[in-house]
Structure formats: C-alpha cells, structure tokens
Amino acid sequence: MLPEFFFGYFACAILGLAMLTVTRKNLVHSVLWMLLLFLHIACLYLFLNAEFLAVIQIIVYAGAILVLFLFLVMLLNLREEHEARRFVKAWQGRLAVCILLLTVIVISVYKATVQPTGGYSIAFINEAGHTKVLGTVLFNQYVLPFLMTALVLFVPMVAAIVLAMKERKR
C-alpha cells in the first residue's frame, strides 16, 4: 500500500511540475520548477532500487545541465518570454498531435508483457551492490555503446570550441 501511495504521489507531482515548467512566463521560475521535477524523478529511481542512477540524475541533470540552462537564461536576460510566431495556428493540429501521442502510449502500455527475468534479480543486485553491478554490465557488455556515447558527447564540445575560436580571430 505504502509504495503505491508514494508512486502515486511522485507520478502526479511529476506531471504537475512538468505542466508548471512549460506554463511559467518567467524563464528562471520555469527552470526552477524543472529542478524540482528532476528531484522527483531521482526519487522514482530510488523506488526502483537504483540509488546510483538517482544520485547521478541529481549530479548530472540537476547539478550540471540545468545550471547551464539557468546561466543561459540569466546571461541573455530573458526575464519575460518573447511572444514567438507559431508555426501552426490551428488548435486542431495540436489536439491531433496530443491524441496521436496518447494513442501510442496507451497501445504500448497494453502491448507490454512481462519479460523473462535475467541474471540480475533484485536480491542479486542488493547483495552485490547496485553501483558494482551497473559498472560490470556497462563496461563489459555495453562497452561499445558506452564509448559511442562518449564520442557523441565529445564532438559537439569540440565543435563549440572551434566556433568560439573563429569568433575570437575576427
């Protein structure tokens, strides 16, 4: 009963916070609601026994990425959101997209089946330690995707530096 109650709270809170994030006029407030949203997501990870992921969610998303968002918003001094021209004015289009998305979600929920459990049961993970198990799987089974991710993240960084250096030369 208690886990369901907590899950219910976090699920509803995440939805509500997401709504608050996209509807605030002030962008700094919006980023701060998003911070609260990320914290709730971290709590959901905790309920899945994924303490390492929960902490990384806070360190990386809340501690690094969102701070950069906040920097950007403050440095550009975007106190109030500018009224941008909409691509499509008709509300029917928005409604259609929403319904489409909802259908996909509903179908995927109904199609979901319980897969056979692998070697990593909750008991095993609790015994060996979540961080250790994650490291073993990541660096043995998925080492290539891991390196690919690193490369994908590295390329834009180099690109940004190259662009900035060009600016300086002029």
Partner 1 sequence: MELLVTMAKTVLYVAAVFGVTLLHVAYATYFERKVIGRMQGRIGPVEVGFRGLLQPFADMVKSLFKEDIIPAAADRPLFFLAPVIVVASVMTSLAVIPFFNNGAIADLNVGVLFIFAMASLAVYGIIIAGWSSNSKYSFFGAIRSAAQVISYEIAMGISLAGVFLMAGSVNLNDIVLAQREQPLGMFAVLQIVGFVVFVISAFAETNRTPFDLPEAETELVAGYLTEYSGFRYALFFLAEYISMYIMAALIALCYLGGWALPGFVTRALPFLEQVPGIVWFLIKVYAFMFFYFWVRATLPRYRFDQLMAIGWKILIPVSVVNIVITAFVKRWLM
Interacting positions 55-94 with partner 1 (CB under 8 A): 55-56, 58-59, 62-64, 67, 70-71, 74-75
Residues 6 or more apart whose CB falls under 8 angstroms from that of 39 comprise 58, 62
**CB neighbour class for 131 (10 Å; exposed up to 12, middle 13-18, buried from 19):** middle
Torsion of Cα atoms, 2 then 4 then 9 then 15, to 10°: 170
Picking from 79, 77, 97, 78, the residue whose alpha carbon sits closest to that of residue 87 is 97
Site string for partner 1, 20-59 (x = CB under 8 A): --------xx--x--x---------------xx--xx-xx
CB of 70 to partner 1, least distance (A): 6
Interacting positions 119-138 with partner 1 (CB under 8 A): 129-131
In the complex, the residues that contact partner 1 under the rule CB under 8 A are 28-29, 32, 35, 51-52, 55-56, 58-59, 62-64, 67, 70-71, 74-75, 129-131
